[in-house]
């Protein structure tokens, strides 16, 4: 028997300002949830941690626009995001907040450890000040023309066109993206700098040792930053909302009373602090997950994120962890995703283009969206959401292949076998064919999940469901019932056991529908895990696992098909088609 593994899973922290759209969901939180569920079904000990990322300028500006304090704004938005996560059945073990005390203490601790190791120094730098806004502008709130490629909408920290890391003072014709004002001055201000350049060789060595477990997308982004040469980055900002900058004694650092730590310094530390909160609330052992001197070298750490977050997780956060010279657990497997686009363009709230998490749940249950987004995960390239593709996936995969199979076999049991699983008859050629199919496909399904290849995992799941439909075509229990009830009973019994298996393998992606299937078949919670014996004998036993005579209750229709009229209505409401 394979030893259970201890796995720590984190997904990129959703920013606090507003409900996330389907692309955000598909690029981090949903695949992390699906992976966590599958690993649990395989008997592993999984801790899935996430949190809201609450500091920085966007939260300040949104609160100002709403006429409330930043704390009030973040409190409201946290509840909205927590409920959206619950609505999508995201099975976080803990959903924390970076504004809580645990993250403040952890961030200040890391800063002091880095400074003690000679990796932080105070520097006077030139930064962009917007006279009309009356504030220094953080990197992403300065836009202008990229000095490298000439792209006219480059952000102050990075050009989205050429990918070059930038300093906002280098932008040509800079302006405030807050107000659009070009009344810009370059002023001097003091900040703490993380001396990343000193860590260049150590981070390169670390990436080379870890990168074999990362997709090409993540490795190429990390190497691009390293090849360009790591630069020292300011980790403080001239803001009021954030984590206070303190000295080694925990007192306000002189000259930094009106500054806070940069959100991208404290946000990844939120993985650790949120795990500490989880441990305090549940009695769990956070050190066994994060401290290699406390057993974390036996933990597998898996991160999920969109491609825009890769550089911070493969360079900046590792600089923080490794530079502390403390025994922190760094990531083992990193899964990076491209974008989910809306008909090839970007999601846009103002232009009514795209569906956001709360809106999606008002249209259809979570399982419909979960299936489509995983089956079309943006792994090798960007993946465009279209209403037509969504309709096709739901109607074909869920309604026709899975739903129709469960409906047919349970209703036939109710009408011909008094709603009880039949025990008569001997398996024959059709059952042997099904055993061979499962012997090939089930291990492959597990391999895809282990490799975090979600499109392939969804496709293999569907292929197993489709094989079940082909089995019923071969077994023909409704034909055999006319002349040989025992022969028909074999097909019905096998079909019902297949329905149970289909429910089990559906649990990571469509947990609600899977539960309905397993409830209808009377499967106890302790028997809803992935099968471990995938030999011929093990799979044959799997196809006769349900107790003979067990009551079977046909579930309600699992999936309603999406009608053309609904697609037309949603296209009008949310955009799509020629609105791209």
Which residues sit in the known binding site? 146, 149, 159, 162, 349
Give the tokens for residue 43.
């008997």
Contact predicate 324/108, CB 8 Å: no
CA distance 464 to 69: 53
**What is the DSSP-derived secondary structure letter of residue 236?**
E
CB neighbours of residue 526 within 10 Å? 6
Question: Helix-strand-coil percent breakdown of the chain, rounded to 5?
Answer: 50, 15, 30
Write the DSSP assignment of 356-403 as a string of letters.
BHHHHHHHS-HHHHHHHHHHT--SSS-EEE-HHHHHHHIIIIIIIIII
* Cα(134)–Cα(240) distance, integer angstroms: 13
d(CA 307, CA 218): 7
Q: Where are the alpha helices (DSSP H) in 178-283?
A: 200-210, 216-228, 263-282
Cα–Cα distance list, 547 to 490, 520, 521 (Å): 13, 14, 10
Element (H, E) at 512: helix 511-520
Burial class (CB in 10 A: 0-12, 13-18, 19+), 204: middle
Crossing angle for the helix pair 101-116 and 263-282, to the nearest 10 degrees: 120
- 476's enclosing H/E stretch is none
Dihedral sign for Cα 182, 185, 190, 195, please. positive
Structure tokens at 181: 């004002």
SS3 14: coil
List residues bridging with 135 in a β-sheet: 130
Residues 6+ apart with CB under 8 A from 343: 353, 384, 385, 386, 575, 576, 577, 579, 580
CB 281 within 8 A of CB 274: no
Q: Which residues belong to the annotated binding site for ATP?
A: 349
Annotated binding residues for Zn(2+), as ranges? 146, 149, 159, 162
Spell out the alpha helix ranges (H) of 49-100: 57-66, 70-87
How many other CB atoms are there within 10 angstroms of residue 277's CB atom? 22
Cα–Cα distance measured from residue 150 to residue 173, given in angstroms and rounded to the nearest whole number = 11
């Amino acid at each position: 028997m394979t030893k259970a593994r201890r796995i720590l899973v984190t997904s990129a922290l959703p920013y606090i300002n507003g409900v996330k759209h389907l692309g955000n969901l598909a690029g981090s939180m949903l695949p992390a949830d699906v992976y966590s569920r599958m690993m649990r079904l395989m008997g592993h000990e999984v801790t899935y941690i996430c949190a809201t990322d609450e500091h920085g300028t966007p939260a300040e500006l949104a609160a100002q626009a709403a006429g409330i304090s930043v704390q009030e704004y973040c409190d409201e938005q946290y509840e909205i995001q927590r409920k959206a996560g619950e609505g999508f059945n995201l099975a976080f073990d803990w959903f924390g907040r970076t504004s809580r005390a645990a993250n403040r203490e952890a961030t200040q601790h890391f800063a002091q450890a880095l400074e003690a190791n000679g990796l932080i120094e105070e520097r006077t730098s030139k930064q962009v000040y917007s006279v009309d806004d009356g504030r220094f502008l953080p990197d992403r709130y300065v836009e202008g023309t990229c000095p490298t490629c000439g792209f006219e909408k480059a952000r102050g920290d990075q050009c989205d066109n050429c990918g070059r890391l930038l300093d906002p003072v280098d932008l040509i014709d800079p302006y405030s993206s807050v107000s659009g004002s070009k009344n810009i001055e370059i002023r001097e201000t003091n900040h703490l700098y993380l001396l990343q350049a000193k860590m260049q060789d150590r981070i390169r060595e670390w990436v080379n040792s870890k990168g074999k477990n990362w997709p090409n997308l993540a490795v190429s982004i990390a190497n691009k930053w390293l090849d360009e040469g790591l630069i020292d980055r300011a980790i403080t900002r001239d803001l009021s909302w954030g984590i206070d900058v303190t000295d080694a004694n925990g007192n306000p650092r002189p000259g930094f009373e009106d500054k806070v730590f940069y959100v991208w310094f404290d946000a990844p530390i939120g993985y650790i602090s949120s795990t500490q909160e989880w441990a305090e609330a549940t009695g769990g052992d956070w050190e066994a997950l994060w401290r290699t001197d406390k057993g974390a070298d036996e933990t597998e750490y898996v991160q999920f994120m969109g491609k825009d977050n890769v550089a911070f997780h493969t360079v900046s956060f590792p600089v923080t962890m490794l530079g502390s010279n403390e025994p922190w657990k760094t990531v083992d497997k990193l899964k990076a995703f491209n974008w989910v686009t809306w008909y090839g363009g970007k999601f846009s709230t103002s232009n009514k283009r795209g569906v956001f998490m709360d809106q999606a749940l008002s249209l259809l249950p979570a399982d419909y969206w979960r299936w489509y987004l995983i089956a079309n995960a943006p792994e090798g390239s960007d993946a465009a959401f279209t209403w037509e593709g969504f309709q096709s996936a739901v109607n074909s995969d869920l309604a026709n292949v899975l739903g129709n199979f469960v409906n047919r076999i349970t209703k036939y049991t109710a009408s011909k076998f008094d709603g009880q699983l039949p025990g008569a008859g001997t398996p024959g050629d059709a059952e042997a064919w099904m055993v061979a199919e499962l012997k090939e496909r089930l291990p492959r399904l597990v391999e895809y999940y282990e490799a975090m290849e979600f499109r392939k995992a969804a496709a293999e799941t569907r292929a197993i469901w489709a094989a079940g439909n082909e089995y019923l075509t071969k077994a023909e229990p409704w034909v055999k019932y006319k002349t040989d009830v025992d022969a028909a009973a074999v097909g019905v019994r096998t079909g019902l056991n297949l329905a149970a298996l289909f429910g089990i393998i559906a649990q990571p992606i469509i947990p609600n529908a899977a539960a309905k299937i397993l409830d209808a078949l009377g499967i106890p919670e302790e028997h809803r895990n992935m099968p471990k014996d995938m030999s011929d004998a093990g799979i044959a036993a799997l196809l006769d696992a349900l107790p003979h005579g067990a009551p079977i209750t046909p579930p309600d229709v699992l999936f309603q098909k999406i009608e053309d009229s609904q697609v037309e209505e949603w296209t009008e409401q949310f955009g799509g088609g020629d609105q791209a």
